Structures are given as C-alpha cells and as structure tokens.
C-alpha cells in the first residue's frame, strides 16, 4: 500500500540544491575564518582603547560603526571579538570531540559491563541541563571564561561518545569486522580501518551543528556576566556592556547580536547541508 | 482490431475502468498504462500481478485517494453513473466507506491502534449518517455479530488485542455496514494463515451473495483467486496483459506471464515431473516500450517492442500478446 | 504498568544520587573557606578558636563521607542550609521565587504551543509548498538567534519605539507578553519542524490510509488518528530540552528584571552565596528529572500499544 507514496520528504525549492546550502555555509565559514585570523591585524582602532571624548559617536571614517559608551571602536571590537568567541568555541568543540570520540570507540568496542556503567553515568549527567550545569560550575568555581568552557565540555562530550558508541556497536557485529578479526587484524587496526571511516561524517555533522549551539551558550552566559569578563571584546559581553545605553544607542547591542546571529546561521546552514548530503539521522 | 469484449459490453456493469493511465506528476514515469476492465454487478473480479505491478494503485484510484504527487493523465473510472476522477473531495469522502468499501492486506494497521475498535465503527457511521452515538453502537454491534465475532468484546478492544482473523472479520464488518456496491479487497488473506484466509474468503463470498455487491479481489497469487472469481485480469508493469473468464484463462493461458504464474503454482496432488519454471530477469523489470514483459519473456520477438494491442480469443478472453494470433491460427488449423 | 513505573523510579533515584554527589563535590571544590565567609572575616577579626568552633559545629572537621551523609540527611528534610546573604533558609528563598518563574514558564509554553501546533500542522499539510518553506525558514532563524538578543530587539521595538508594552517588571499581563514570547519563540519554531516530521510520518501509516478509505473526515484523521503519535517525538525532545528552557528562563528573567529563580541564582553566583546556588541546582535538576519521568509515562497514555508491548516482555 505504500507504493503510491513516492518520497514525500522532498526538499523545498530554495533548499533544493543541497550543495548550494553547503556552499553558502562554506563561503560564510571562509569569511568568518579569515576575519578571525587576520582581522585583528587590520582593524582601524585598538579594541581596548577608551576615548571618553568620543563616546557613543556615530559611524565615521575613523570609526566605521561608531563608538561605544567608553569611546571604543565598535567595529574593531566586533572583529577582535570574533576571535575570542570563535576561538573559544573551536577549542571547546575540539576538546569535546577529542574526549568523546576515543571513549565512544573504546566503550562501544569492549561493550559489556563498562558500557552499562557508562550509559548510567551519561543518563545522570544528561539529566542536568547544560545551562544549569554551567551556572553550577560558574557559581561554585567563580565566573570566568575558563570555567564556562569546562562546564560546556563536561556536558557535551557525552553526545559524541553516544554517537560513536552506537555506530561502533552496529559495526562491530557486522560480518566484515568478524572476518577481519578472524583474518588476524589487531583490534586497533579494526578500529582504525573499519570503524573510524564510519564515524567521520556523523561526528562532523554533530560538531558543525554544535558550534552554533556553543556560540549561543557562551554568549548567553557572557551576557549574564558568567563568561568573558569586561573589558574583553566578546560578543555576549559586549551586549551586556551596551545594555544600559540601548535606549539611546541601540546599535551597541544590534551589531554584536547580528554578528552572533549570522555566524550561528552559517554553521547551522552548513550542518544541515552536510546532514542532508550524508543522510545522517539526527539523534 | 477487435476490442476487449469482456469490458463495456454488458449494461449491468457496476464499475467501468476505461483507458486509465496514472503518472508521477511532472515526470513521464507511467505507473498505470491504459487500463481497461469492468466489474459486473454482483461478481468477483480478480486482479493478479506481482508487487509493483499497479494493482494497489488501481485500488487507490478507484477510491479517489491518489496522492498529490501522482495524477490521472487519461481515462475514466465510473462507478454506476458517477465518474470518480472528476468528483470533489467531499463527494469522494461520501462514497468511500459507504458505496465503495476497502479491505487491506495489513489487517493490523486497518484500525488506528490507539483508538478502540468500537469507537472507530461509531466514527465511520457518524461520518456518513446523522445517527446518535447510541444508535451507531447498536448498528456496529449488529454487524460485528453478522461476521460471527463476539461483538461486545471486539467493540471494546484495541486492534492489537485481537487476532488476525478477528481483525479481518471486524474490518469486513466495518466495510459492509452501509451495504456498499463495491468492496475492494487488497490482498485480504495474504497475511493470514491458509485456513483463516479461506474462511475469510468464504465469508466474503457469502456476504457478497447477501448484499449483492461486487468485489474487486486483488492478489499477487493466482491460487487465491482462481476458485473465487468469475473474471480475472493479470497485470504486469501497470498494464493488464491478459483478461478473461477465469475458467478460460486457466484452461488456456496465452500471455507467457500468465502461463508462468500458473505453472509456478505448486500442485500438491501431482507429482512434479519437471523442474519448476523460474522467471527470467529480475521481478519488476519493465520494458518502457511495447509489451512490459518483453524483457523477461521466453517467447519474445522483435515485434514485442512495438505497441502490442489487446486482441481477443473468443468472447470472454483476450490478451495483449503476439501469441494470440498464433493461437487463433492453431485453432483454425486444428478445426 | 507498575513494573514500568518501578523501573523508571529506580532510574530516577540513581540519577538523583549522581546529581547530589555532583553538587556536593562542586560545593567542596569551591574556592574560599565558607567558615571565613560566614564569620565575615574580611571585615572582622576572627580568632583561630572561633573558626575551629564553627568548623566543628558545621561538621567540617569530619571525614567527607560523613559530611555527605549528614548533608543528604538534611536534604531529605528539605533543609538546604541558610543563605549567606539574607540569612534566611534557602528553601524559603526558593519557594518565594518559584511562582514567578512558573508563571513565566507557563506563559512561554502557552505561546510556544500556540505557535508550534498550527505551524507544524500547517507545514505538514502543505509539504514543500510555501507554508512549509516558511516554517523551515523560521526554524533556521529560531535556531540561530540568541534569545536574549531577540528579547532586546523586542524591548527596543515594543517598549521604546512603539511604547505599547512595558519593558520590564512583573504583575500585569502586558508585562508577561514580551518575556514569554522571547522565551517561547525560539523553541516553538524548532518544535514545529519536529511536529511536522512526526505528522508526515504518521500520516503515511497504513491505518491512516484505511481510515481515509472508510470515508472518515479529514480533520478527524489529522487530529484524532495522526496527531497523537506525531506528538511523541515532540514530547521526547521537549522533555530533553526542558533544561534549556529553564536556562533560557534565567536569561529572560535577567533581561526583563523578573525576580524569579534565575535572577536569584545569578545574584547568588555574584555574591558567592553557595547554599543558594546549590539549592537552585538541586531544585532544577530534580524538576527536570521528574518531568522526564512524566514524559516517559505519558507515552503509555498516548500510545497504549507500548504499554502492552512492554508488559508482554
């Protein structure tokens, strides 16, 4: 009876070209990376130099987007802030993957009691919402960027371990792995040759989508004052700085917000594009 | 050219399908091509073919439930006086369940699993009439009794609490409540064991006599059909390749596909002297041009890639194959 | 059914144990000596004896597991200690703030449902047509926009430019709209996609085909036959992301100056008021775990097949 139903899940036309979606994301990504890497060398003004005589100045040739409440160049702060926001995010996601993937490989491959214990612990940690956990860690260890990063890593690695674990478990029981075992391949070789290629695409998709989420978490917590501390030009912290002035000078919060929005959008586009392309199921 | 005589001749045809073609919207992929058949009042018509041959899709068209991604590109489907393909959604809904009833192969998914069976009976009744809940309940119980089920218990059960046979009976009860003119039974017995299946078919024939309705019996297996139907159509690749009185088709299958279907039946009472024939090629291999079976046909000829018309062999039997001609000549010679 | 509940409750206890252990460990890892904080050592002269006396009184000189045991014992009696700042019992502090956060969450969820359900149904009904694309577009925006920024923009537009809604404070209904919308929107559009996917899945089930073939009205098919199972994935994700919802509530509370639990926690962090932070973390943790339990159990109500399947095992 299902024959009269051809694939319903076709993609709407402006998303039809999957490659276009990825391309958009990749172009964004390149722009963002370039900005992050060379931005700090080409910014017109020093992001930390306050100039009280130029407070809340409108955009001019000297200050492309005007100045903030301390007379600092908003444009320069945004560009340099990209480095801090994205750098932290990249570091966090990389750490998470480096912790999560090996554990997932080992647990999935060995299985048994180790696996059961892990799943229990994972459930326990996941019951703690990421955001609350960040608040707990920031609360007990003091608000700082480092503590914020620790708390995100503490929660996030589990997702990677789970994904890798489930793939390894499915693959482990397949004939070709058994054949490789019988053929005398070492465990390490089996993991490297047969398991690793299988986990690359789901993990990449997960990581790409996570980058957006991590950026949002970091900036939200920085906005609360629990992350980057002033005067660091981090986007969330910039928003927090600008808040008292935003009735008179809304651009103080509009620009950093837009920056966050577009960067997260870029990674979400890329992540969705990759997910559709590789047909990775969202978990 | 002699047109298929089993269709369009008699006046008391309940369902007439003429020249029906269905394609995937915005593409040239044809799923049903120039389908032609009719079901007389009070008869059982069998439609046979392997999965993907377009049998269930034909049922979908008759029910007026074609998905939006498919479209009827030509032809007509007439139930009595009404043309199904041009009815509005609302009119169709009134016909479905009332004039045309549907039974599916997947009896487990016939009733929505988390709503009690009885509630769904009431739902059907109240969608088609103005009865109160109480009256509707009485009607439902009446019909459940009619199909020899413990009515009260079935009424208060979820579908997964019933056995396959019970479910199929309940499905039949829900189908016949409005004394439909046509029952479409899409593989009603395939998922059941042989005995239960036979009983279900007995029940259907019995009810057919009582209600004087017609039945379109769809199956992938000839043996389910041959004992029950008056006429039978064999479908391959969205076309009917052979159609006729069941007895005639049985006695003298013309199209090689029909022949193979018949031969591949296991006969338990006979000693198998020769190897069972296997079909050439993959199932579902369909030739785009000419006879759809030509890529797998053992007696394929060059002319098979041209359009092969239906030609008749006697008044109640016709096939779309060059062999019809040979057969006719043979008869002529032997006479 | 009873065995299911028993299993889930066992799980719940394990999770709560880990949660308590975690909070306790963090508490012990916190920099600074709580004894000195309580004695206000920055401003007053504190003798070694005073310290030792208090340490003994608080039980800090005992081994860690004894401390944990005592702490747990007090926890069971809902004794979370006293706030360093106000001196009031933590549980009291929490209880006065719960209704405010609950109000915000309730309205946010209402707004969320008001967006999710129509948007999800609408885009499932017109798959790949413009309503569907519109909802996908909204979902992308919703997943990319920082909700505090959305809140700021809304305040700027509605409070400062148009002057139709107040920018902060609690009490009247007009003050609820902006924060509730800020919190609800980003979740709503993402859940709408989930609902759409669930609906498409369940609309392609055989029993939907059969119901149509029986001439059941289209709205009945959608809401009575299809919607129910389509809600399951949404519920799962909802249960899992309730934490983010509460996290979002913290930001929104700060943004709109709502004196709820989130504001309490953030204030406590800046004041190093550890008992309050601990109380907050435990409370939200327990709440999230309990909600997940409810979500799990609701499966069996929504789809009775599951219940029987598990009981058969």
Task: Decide: A233 and A47 in contact? Cβ < 8 Å.
Answer: yes
Q: Prior bond to C70 cis, omega within 30?
A: no
Token pair in block for residue B198: 């036979």
* pLDDT of B264: 67
pLDDT number for residue C274: 82
pLDDT band at B140 (very low <50, low <70, confident <90, very high): very high
CB distance B67–A5 less than 8 Å? yes
Interchain proximity B67–A1, CB inside 8 Å: no
Q: A3 to chain B: which residues are within 8 Å by CB? A: 51-52, 56-57
3-state SS of A152-190 is: HHHHHHHHHHHHHHHHHHHHHCCHHHHHHHHCCCCHHHH
**Which residues from C are below 8 Å from B111, CB to CB?**
207, 210
A157 half-sphere exposure, CB direction, 13 A CA radius: 22
Mean pLDDT, rounded, for C77-101: 84
Residue from the list C128, C140, C281 with its beta carbon closest to the beta carbon of A132:
C281
Q: What residues contact residue C221 under an 8 Å CB cut-off, 6+ apart?
A: C203, C208, C211, C212
- Look up residue C222 and give its DSSP letter: I
Q: Does B5 have pLDDT greater than 50? A: no
- Tell whether the model's pLDDT for residue B241 goes beyond 60: yes
Domain parsing of chain B, residue ranges: 2-99+180-269+277-334, 107-179
Nearest-by-Cβ selection for A1 from B56, B66, B69: B56
Q: What is the pLDDT of residue B2?
A: 41
Nearest to A155 by CA among A125, A187, A113, A191: A125
ipTM over 0.85: no
Smallest Cα distance from C205 to chain B, Å: 8
Contact B124 C224 (CB under 8 A): no
Widest CA span of chain A, in angstroms? 77
Contacting residues of C for A14, CB less than 8 Å apart: 133
Helices (H), chain B: 55-62, 89-95, 117-128, 133-146, 151-155, 164-176, 194-211, 222-225, 246-251, 256-263, 323-334
What is the tens place of the pLDDT at every residue in A20-70? 767 777 888 888 888 778 777 777 777 667 666 766 667 776 666 777 766
Give residue C155's pLDDT.
87
Site of tokens 């100039």 = A51
Neighbours of B334 (CB within 10 A): 6
pLDDT, position A132:
75
DSSP A185-210: --HHHHIIIIIHHHHHHHHHHHHHHH
Q: Is C136 on the interface with B (CB under 8 A)?
A: no
Using pLDDT thresholds of 50, 70 and 90, give the confidence band for residue B224: confident
Residues A5, B57: C-beta atoms closer than 8 Å? no
* Average pLDDT for B101-125: 86
pLDDT higher for B278 or B25?
B25
pLDDT at A127: 65
Give residues with Cβ within 8 angstroms of C198, minimum separation 6.
C120, C229, C230, C231, C232, C233, C234
pLDDT averaged over every residue in chain B: 82
Cα separation, C160 vs B301, in Å, equals 83
Nearest Cα of chain B lies from the Cα of C110 at a distance, in angstroms, of 26
C93-115 burial: b if 16+ Cβ within 10 Å, else e = bbeebeebbebbbebbbebbeeb
Among the partner residues B60, B104, B106, nearest to A4 by beta-carbon distance: B60
> How big, in percent rounded to 5, are the helix, strand and coil portions of chain A?
75, 0, 25
Q: Class for domain B2-99+180-269+277-334, per CATH? A: alpha beta
Helix (H) or strand (E) holding A124: helix A112-127
Shortest CA distance from A154: residue in chain C: C22
pLDDT at B274: 57
Q: Quick one: average pLDDT of C119-148? A: 87
Q: Report which of residues C142 and A52 the model is more confident about.
A: C142
Q: What is the mean pLDDT of residues C264-292?
A: 85
- Cβ separation A264–C143 shorter than 8 A: yes
CB contact (8 A) between residue C210 and residue B109: yes
Orientation angle between helical segments A130-141 and C274-302, nearest 10 degrees:
170
CB-nearest to C160 from A143, A223, A247 is: A247
Q: C210 vs B104: CB contact, 8 Å cut-off?
A: yes
Q: Minimal Cα distance from B111: which residue of C?
A: C207
CA of A24 to nearest chain B CA: how many angstroms apart? 29
More confident residue, B5 or B43: B43
> Would you say residue A95 has pLDDT above 90?
yes
* Of the candidate ranges B37-51, C53-67, C120-134, the one whose mean pLDDT is the lowest: C53-67
Model confidence pLDDT, tens digit, residues C206-261: 888 888 888 888 888 888 888 888 887 777 777 767 777 888 888 899 888 888 89
Q: According to the model, what pLDDT value does residue A94 have?
A: 92
All residues at 6 or more sequence positions from C21 whose CB lies less than 8 Å from its CB, including other chains: C68
pLDDT in tens, B254-305: 888 888 887 766 555 555 555 555 666 666 677 777 788 877 777 777 777 7
Residue C119 pLDDT grade (very low, low, confident, very high; cuts 50, 70, 90): very high
Residue B3 has a pLDDT of 43
CA distance C140 to C203: 25
DSSP character at residue C82 = B
At B214, phi and psi to the nearest 5?
-105, 155
Q: Which two tokens stand for residue C145?
A: 């926009």
Subunits adjacent to chain C (3 or more Cβ pairs under 8 Å): A, B
pLDDT band at C14 (very low <50, low <70, confident <90, very high): confident
Tokens encoding B200:
């279900």
Whole-number pLDDT of residue A7: 38
C206 Cα to chain B: minimum distance (Å): 6
So what's the pLDDT on residue C40? 66
pLDDT for residue B138? 92
B30-40 β-sheet, strand order:
B30-40, B13-24, B70-79, B82-83
The pLDDT tens digits for B293-311 are: 877 777 777 777 777 778 7
**pLDDT exceeds cutoff 60 at B335:** no
Count chain A–chain B contacts defined by CB atoms under 8 A.
Answer: 22
Which chain C residue has the Cα nearest residue B159? C305
Q: Give the helix/strand (H/E) hosting A112.
A: helix A112-127
Q: Which residue has the higher pLDDT, B243 or C297?
A: B243
Closest listed residue to residue A209, CA positions, set A162, A271, A164, A161: A271
Average pLDDT, chain C: 81
Residue C313 pLDDT > 50, yes or no?
no
* Percentage, residues of chain C above pLDDT 70: 90
Contact call for B52 and A3, based on CB within 8 A? yes
Interchain proximity B69–A8, CB inside 8 Å: yes
List all residues of chain A from 3 to 22 with a beta carbon under 8 Å from chain B: 3-6, 8
Over C237-265, what HEC string results?
A: HHHHHHHHHHHHHHHHHHHCCCCCHHHHH
pLDDT reading at B169 higher than 80 = yes
Please state, as a whole number, how many other Cβ atoms lie within 10 Å of the Cβ of residue C227: 20
The fold adopted by the segment(s) A91-278 is: MetI-like fold (1.10.3720)
* Dist CA B290 CA C6 (whole Å): 66
Rounded-to-integer distance, Cα B143 and Cα B162, Å: 17
Chain mean pLDDT for chain A = 77
Is the per-residue pLDDT at A280 higher than 50?
A: yes
With a cut of 50, say whether residue A8 has pLDDT above it. Answer: no
Q: Which residue of C has its CA nearest to B115?
A: C225
pLDDT at B107 over 80: no
Tens digits of per-residue pLDDT, A159-172? 888 888 888 888 77
B247, B248, B190, B256: which is closest to B217 by C-alpha? B190
C83 phi and psi angles, rounded to 5 deg: -65, 135
Q: How confident is the model at residue B11 (pLDDT cuts 50, 70, 90)?
A: low
Confidence of residue C307 (pLDDT cuts 50, 70, 90): low
| Least confident piece of the model among B78-92, B227-241, B311-325 | B311-325
């Amino acid at each position: 009876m299902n024959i009269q139903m051809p694939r319903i899940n076709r993609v709407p036309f402006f998303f039809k070209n999957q490659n276009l979606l990825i391309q958009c994301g990749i172009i964004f990504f390149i722009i963002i990376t370039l900005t992050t890497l060379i931005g700090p060398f080409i910014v017109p003004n020093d992001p930390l130099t306050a100039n009280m005589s130029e407070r809340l100045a409108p955009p001019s040739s000297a200050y492309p987007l005007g100045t903030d409440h301390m007379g600092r160049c908003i444009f320069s702060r945004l560009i340099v802030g990209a480095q801090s926001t994205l750098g932290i995010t990249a570091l966090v996601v990389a750490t998470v993957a480096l912790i999560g993937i090996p554990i997932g490989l080992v647990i999935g491959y060995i299985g048994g009691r180790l696996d059961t214990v892990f799943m229990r612990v994972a459930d326990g940690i996941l019951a703690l919402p990421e955001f609350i956990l960040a608040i707990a860690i920031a609360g007990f260890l003091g608000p700082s960027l480092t503590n914020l990063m620790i708390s995100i890593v503490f929660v996030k690695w589990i997702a990677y371990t789970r994904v890798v674990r489930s793939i390894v478990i499915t693959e482990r029981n397949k004939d070709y792995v058994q054949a490789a075992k019988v053929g005398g391949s070492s465990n390490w070789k089996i993991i490297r040759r047969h398991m690793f290629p299988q986990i690359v695409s789901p993990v990449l998709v997960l990581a790409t989508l996570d980058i957006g989420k991590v950026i949002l978490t970091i900036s939200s917590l920085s906005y609360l004052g629990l992350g980057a501390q002033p005067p660091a030009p981090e986007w969330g912290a910039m928003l927090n700085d600008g808040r008292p002035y935003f009735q008179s000078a809304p651009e103080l919060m509009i620009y950093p917000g837009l920056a966050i929005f577009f960067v997260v959008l870029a990674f979400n586009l890329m992540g969705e594009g990759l997910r559709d392309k590789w047909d990775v199921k969202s978990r | 050219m002699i047109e298929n005589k089993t269709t369009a001749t008699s006046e008391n045809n309940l369902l007439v399908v003429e020249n029906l073609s269905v394609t995937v919207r915005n593409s040239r992929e044809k799923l049903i091509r120039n389908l032609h058949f009719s079901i007389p009042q009070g008869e059982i018509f069998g439609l046979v073919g392997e999965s993907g041959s377009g049998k269930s899709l034909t049922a979908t068209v008759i029910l007026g439930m074609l998905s939006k991604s498919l479209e009827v590109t030509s032809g007509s489907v007439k139930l009595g006086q009404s043309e199904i393909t041009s009815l509005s959604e609302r009119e169709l809904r009134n016909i479905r369940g009332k004039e045309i009833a549907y039974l599916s192969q997947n009896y487990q998914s016939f009733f929505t699993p988390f709503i009690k069976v009885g509630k769904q009976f009431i739902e059907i009744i109240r969608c088609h009439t103005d009865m109160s809940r109480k009256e509707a309940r009485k009607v439902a119980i009446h019909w459940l009794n009619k199909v020899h089920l413990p009515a009260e218990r079935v009424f208060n059960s979820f579908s997964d609490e019933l056995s396959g046979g019970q479910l199929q009976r309940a499905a039949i009860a829900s189908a016949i409540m409005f004394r439909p003119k046509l029952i479409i039974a899409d593989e009603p017995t395939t998922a059941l064991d042989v005995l239960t299946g036979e009983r279900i078919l007995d029940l259907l024939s019995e009810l057919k006599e009582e209600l004087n309705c017609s039945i379109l019996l769809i199956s992938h297996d000839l043996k389910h059909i041959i004992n029950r139907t008056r006429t039978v159509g064999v479908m391959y690749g969205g076309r009917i390749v052979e159609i006729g009185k069941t007895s005639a088709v049985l006695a003298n299958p013309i199209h090689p596909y029909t022949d193979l279907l018949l031969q591949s039946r296991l006969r338990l009472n006979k000693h198998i002297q020769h190897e069972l024939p296997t079909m050439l090629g993959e199932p579902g291999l369909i030739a785009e041009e000419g006879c759809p079976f030509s890529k797998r046909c053992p007696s394929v000829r060059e002319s098979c890639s041209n359009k092969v018309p239906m030609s008749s062999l006697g008044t109640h039997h016709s096939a779309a194959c060059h062999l019809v001609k040979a057969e006719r000549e043979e008869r002529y010679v032997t006479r | 059914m009873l065995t299911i509940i028993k299993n889930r409750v066992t799980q719940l206890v394990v999770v709560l144990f880990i949660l308590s252990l975690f909070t306790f460990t963090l508490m012990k890892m916190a920099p600074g000596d709580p004894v000195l904080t309580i004695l206000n050592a920055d401003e007053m002269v504190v003798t070694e004896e005073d310290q030792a006396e208090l340490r003994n009184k608080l039980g800090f000189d005992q081994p860690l597991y004894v401390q944990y045991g005592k702490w747990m014992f007090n926890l069971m009696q809902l004794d979370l200690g006293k706030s360093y700042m106000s001196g009031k019992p933590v549980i009291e502090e929490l209880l006065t703030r719960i209704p405010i956060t609950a109000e915000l969450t309730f309205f946010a969820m209402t707004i969320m449902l008001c967006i999710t359900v129509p948007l999800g149904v609408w885009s499932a009904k017109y798959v790949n047509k413009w309503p569907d694309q519109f909802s996908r577009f909204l979902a992308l925006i919703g997943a990319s926009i920082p909700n505090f920024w959305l809140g700021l923009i809304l305040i700027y537009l509605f409070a400062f430019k148009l002057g139709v809604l107040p920018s902060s404070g609690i009490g009247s209904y007009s003050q609820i709209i902006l924060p509730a919308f800020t919190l609800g929107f980003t979740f709503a559009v993402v859940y709408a996609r989930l609902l759409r996917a669930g609906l498409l899945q369940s609309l392609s089930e055989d029993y939907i085909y059969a119901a149509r073939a029986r001439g059941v009205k289209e709205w009945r098919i959608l809401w009575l036959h299809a919607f129910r199972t389509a809600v399951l994935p949404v519920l799962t994700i909802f249960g899992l992301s309730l934490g983010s919802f509460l996290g979002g509530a913290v930001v929104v509370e700060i943004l709109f100056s709502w004196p709820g639990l989130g504001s309490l926690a953030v204030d406590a962090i800046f004041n190093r008021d550890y008992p309050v932070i601990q109380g907050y973390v435990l409370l939200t943790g327990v709440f999230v775990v309990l909600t997940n339990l409810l979500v799990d159990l609701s499966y069996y109500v929504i789809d009775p097949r599951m219940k029987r399947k598990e009981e058969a095992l």
